[in-house]
Amino acid sequence: MHLIRFALVGRALRMLAMEDNPVAEGLDRRALDTIRALEKPGSGAVLQRVLGIYLKNSPKLVQTMRDAANVGDAVVLGNAAHALKSSSLYVGAAWIGALCREIEAAARSTPPVISSALVAALESGYPRVEQLLRAELEQGKA
């Protein structure tokens, strides 16, 4: 059981350590292209709406995860990780999505594991993703 837990967390840390990971470099442009493809005359700026929603909700989710990790609430941590994972994958924030998947999996394993190291990695990495997405948003508006 412990071996599995350490394996999960270890895999996430190794992923973070890979400097040349293209996902870590920035955004999955294919995901953004998919969303752009949905934009048809009359359907409005879907990408802008989605990015707006993401940028508004995500900091709250990161904060929730931090608080949950601090108080040791695995359920709240898992739920928040799940929510952030899902939306991150939609908007091409693959690195955040992958990290959240690991956090969620650990939090929902039996017994639950609260990986403060991963949450800390998320906190430190999120601003960069936010910056990139905001750039996309601005670019779309222009």
Partner 1 sequence: MNEAQSGGSAPLVLIVDDDETARVLTEAVLTNADFRVVQAENGRQALDAFRAERPDIVLLDVSMPVMDGFEACQALRRLPGGESVPVLMLTGHDDIGSINRAYEVGATDFLAKSNNLEIIAHRVRYMLRAARAFSELEKNRKGLSSAQRIARMGGWEWHVDSDRIFLSAEVRDMFGLSTADSEAKAERFLSYVHRDDREAVHQAVLAALRGTRPFDLQHRLTLPDGSERQVHSKAEVSFGADGRAQNLRGTIQDVTERWLAEQKIHNLAYYDSLTGLPNRLMFRDQLDRAIARCLREGQQLAVMFLDLDKFKRVNDTLGHSVGDQLLAAAAERVANCVRGTEMVSRDAARLQAAEETRGVQARNSPHVGRLGGDEFTLYLEDVGEPQNAARVARRILAELSRPFVLGQHEIVMSASIGIAVCPADGKDVELLLGNADVAMYHAKEQGRNNYQFYSRAMNAEAFQKLSLESNLRRALEREEFVLYYQPLVSVESGVIVGAEALIRWRHPEMGMVPPQEFIPLAEETGLIAPISEWVLGEACRQAATWRHITAQLVKVSVNLSGVNIRQDTMPKIVARALATSGLEPRRLKLELTESVLMRDAESTLVALKKLNDMGVQLCIDDFGTGYSSFSYLRRFPLHTLKIDRSFVRDVPGHEDVAAITGAIIAMGHSLKLNVVAEGVETRPQLDYLREIGCDEYQGYLFSAAVPAQQFEELLRREKEIGALMPARA
Task: For residue 49, state whether it binds partner 1 (rule: CB under 8 A).
Answer: yes
Interatomic CA distance for residues 62 and 66, integer angstroms: 6
Phi, psi of 40 (to 5 degrees): -125, 160
Task: For residue 99, state whether it binds partner 1 (rule: CB under 8 A).
Answer: no
Tell the smallest beta-carbon distance from residue 49 to partner 1 (Å).
6
* 3-state SS assignment for residue 136: helix
Q: Which of 4, 7, 10, 57 binds partner 1 (CB under 8 A)?
A: 57
In contact, 133 and 91? CB cutoff 8 Å: yes
Task: For residue 116, state whether it binds partner 1 (rule: CB under 8 A).
Answer: no
Interatomic CA distance for residues 105 and 99, integer angstroms: 10
Task: For residue 70, state whether it binds partner 1 (rule: CB under 8 A).
Answer: no
Please identify which residue in the block is written with the tokens 């690195």.
95
Residues that bind partner 1 (CB under 8 A): 30-31, 34-35, 38-40, 42-43, 46, 49-50, 53-54, 57, 79, 82-83, 85-87, 89-91, 97, 101
